[in-house]
Chain A
Amino acid sequence: MTLNVLMFYLLSAIILIFSVLTITSRRMLRAAVYLLFVLVATAGFYFLLNYQFLAAVQLTLYAGGIVVLIIFSILLTGHISEKFKKPASWKLWMGIIALVVGSTLTLWTLLSHNFVKSTDIKAVPVDMHLIGNQLLGLGKNGYVLSFEIISVLLLAAMIAAIVIAKKEKSQKSDTL
């Protein structure tokens, strides 16, 4: 067993255990922290595949960005310290049935699919220039259109956030 395989099983175990803990934990903040572990371990997978750019993106966006936002919003809500109530038994059973059906379907698809070994294909280091050119490329496999659409969407979201956060003029004088 090589170190790579060992690391793969280690990271998979972390992801599996903490994913289950994320949804079964009845304390909100703990669930968010378990989610952080899952996302960091996923970044570990990308490092294992030598795709460092995606790993760093995973760390900044998901672990550093989204989890921080989730924790922030949890801290700003009132009932953090309360435990969730146990779900009603019919809900629990429905959930378990959905889980069993879903996982059998996924497993069946995975196991019946004929995977082709890709050992003879050499890994290519993903250059920063390549990613930049592809992201803003107009030609084949270029992503410039989706890139621009996402930028417009982000701009709209930002303006919306400012409009929501903006105070009325009459209130402004006595709060600040």
Chain B
Amino acid sequence: MLLDIYSFSTLTASINKDLHAAMTPWLAVATELVLIGLLFLTFYALLGLFLVYLERKVCAVMQNRIGPNRVGKWGVFQTIADLIKLVTKELIPIKNADSFLFNLAPFIVIIASFMAMAALPFAKGLQAIDFNIGIFYIIAVSSLGVVGILIAGWSSNSKYSLIGAMRSGAQVVSYELSVGLSLLAIVVLSGSMQLSTIVESQANGWWIFKGHIPALIAFVIYLIASTAEINRGPFDLAEAESELTAGFHTEYSGIKFAFFFLAEYINMFIVAAIAATLFFGGWMPFHIDHWEAFNRVMDYIPSIVWFFGKTFIIIYLIMWFKWTFPRLRIDQLLNLEWKYLLPLSLMNIVIVSFVVLMGWYF
């Protein structure tokens, strides 16, 4: 199959073989762990820089402005200049604050998003770890991030931070349910929680098309609930600038603030990548069952391009939300989740189970 040309598994397998030939097994494994860690760190940092730049440009387009345009061509190096500024800033200690928890909180937030990223399938054969419960693992580790937010809010010893953290905590805890239940619809359709199997099951069409009505409902719920879970507008009342300064990270400065900022953007990427993987086939090219010639043409586009293409379209959609919709109030936010999204997603689970039992999907 043409797909195999672009597969990364030959590359990773050869690196694995060479390492094992050169050193003892446990040293080889340790080296691989370090290599993968470095690779992810680099990717994480570059992606963060790019997403911040993208956000500013998208925001500018929405508001009929030009956006960053001074540093480099089209301002592409603007975020690098911002990063240098952030790194050189002073780390301000807070009086009467619990300094241990204050310093710990950004790490909890960033580690949670780092762990979630480890299980994503970026391209064919390019996945750091393929658990047989992949999607459940991602939901599990991303739920750790809220602990960091709550601790950051309290240990800052500031009322803005505390209110922001309580709002954010309530929001993340409640919207987690809808995220999980909407992803469960695709798990029911594909019969697996392993991300590689879910991607393979979309070789004859993506689930959003094959699963028709229930998949579409699940996708809409997922998009709303996950936008809320990553604290982005229109659900960004946890850091509503006009009333709470910057929410739970008001008191943070320098690189510690950058950690929160980075984790927020990477979480957006993870959320979009999960949506792309489960609903739009991940790295799987656009295939239509029995259209052999068409499918082979589609296979010419490398899988990594498909994955990042889909992911960035969804990221664009999420950014579009932020700059279009007005911010919700806390009671509206909780009403939306508990009175509309949660009953709807529970109903959707029943519908999708019925559809699968009757075999009414393609």
Residues of chain A whose beta carbon lies under 8 Å from any beta carbon of chain B:
2-3, 27, 29-30, 33, 36, 40, 52-53, 55-57, 59-60, 63-65, 67-68, 71-72, 75, 80, 125-129, 176
Contact B141 A59 (CB under 8 A): yes
Query: Does B151 make an interface contact (CB < 8 A)?
Result: yes
Determine whether the beta carbon of B162 is less than 8 Å from that of A60: no
B228 close to A (CB within 8 Å):
no
Number of interface residues of B (CB under 8 A): 33
Q: Is the CB of B140 within 8 A of A64?
A: yes
Which residues of B approach A to under 8 Å, CB–CB?
Answer: 26, 29-30, 98, 100-101, 104, 131-133, 136-137, 139-141, 143-144, 146-147, 150-151, 154-155, 162, 165-166, 169, 173, 176, 191-193, 331
User: What is the distance, in angstroms, from B23's C-beta to the closest C-beta of chain A?
Assistant: 13
Question: Which of chain B's residues have a CB closer than 8 A to the CB of A40?
Answer: 144
**Complex Cα–Cα for A64 and B146 (A):** 8
What distance in Å separates the Cβ of A49 from its nearest Cβ neighbour in chain B? 13
Please list 26 pairs of residues, one from A and one from B, whose beta carbons are closer than 8 Å in the complex, sorted by A's number: A3-B30, A29-B155, A33-B104, A33-B147, A52-B131, A52-B133, A55-B137, A56-B131, A59-B141, A59-B144, A60-B140, A63-B147, A64-B143, A64-B144, A68-B143, A68-B147, A68-B150, A68-B169, A72-B150, A72-B169, A75-B150, A80-B154, A125-B132, A128-B133, A128-B192, A128-B193
Q: With A33-B151, A59-B141, A128-B193 given, can you name 13 additional A-B contacts, CB distance below 8 Å? A: A36-B147, A52-B132, A53-B136, A60-B143, A64-B140, A64-B146, A65-B143, A68-B146, A71-B150, A72-B150, A75-B154, A75-B165, A80-B154
Contacts of A125 in B (CB 8 A): 132
- Taking the nearest CB of chain A, how far is it from the CB of B230, in angstroms? 15
Instruction: Return chain A residues, CB-CB under 8 Å to B192.
Output: 128
Partner of B133, one of A30, A56, A176: A56
Secondary structure at the A interface, as helix, strand, loop or mixed, is helix
| Interchain nearest-CB distance for A57 vs B (Å) | 8
Chain A residues with CB under 8 Å of B101's CB are 29-30, 33
Contacts of A80 in B (CB 8 A): 154
**A59 and B132 within 8 A (CB):** no
Contact B151 A59 (CB under 8 A): no
Q: Is the Cβ of B147 less than 8 Å from the Cβ of A56? A: no
A30 CA / B154 CA spacing, docked (Å): 11
For the complex of A and B, 9 pairs with smallest distance between CB atoms: A64-B143, A59-B140, A56-B140, A60-B140, A56-B136, A52-B131, A56-B137, A71-B150, A3-B26
Shortest Cβ distance from B22 into chain A, in angstroms?
17
